[in-house]
Structure 1
């Protein structure tokens, strides 16, 4: 004979476990995606800074050459 009360309790337990598990996975996935987006923004900011620094170094090299030419000397 099948005990329907125990079967119902086991079924509700299974459903609750599945909902909790998949809910946790979805929340963790959203958090991971948010953190990745934030890191991408930080990387973009860093890349802008590196690019600007590279451009400034190039301009500084040109300025040093101009100063050397104005002084009339060569290294």
Structure 2
């Protein structure tokens, strides 16, 4: 009977240890993926900010071109 209990306890320890290691590894992978997604989001946000600046610059350039055209027509 004691052999059965020892085997059961060892099985329990093995099961708990294996489950814990699996959860830990899964958590590491999830954190890694979240980190990579955060990097991509930061790059995207930087691109959006740069595009806003480019659009404003283009708008200003078009406005100046229109003013020059009207100045030449007069």
TM bin (shorter chain): over 0.9
1:38 Cα deviation (Å)? 0.3
Deviation per residue, 1:4-40 (Å, 9 max, x gap):
0000000000000000001100000010000000000
Pair 1:70-2:68 in alignment: yes
- Which of structure 1's runs of 4+ aligned residues deviate more than 4 A? none
Number of residue-to-residue matches in the alignment: 71
TM-score scaled by structure 1?
0.92
Task: Pick 1 or 2: higher relative contact order, CA cutoff 8 A, min separation 6.
Answer: 1
Q: What root-mean-square deviation, in Å, do the aligned CA atoms of Structure 1 and Structure 2 show? A: 0.9
Quote the residue 1:6 is aligned against: 4
Structure 1: gaps (5+ residues):
none
Which residue, out of 39, 42, 45, partners 1:41?
Answer: 39
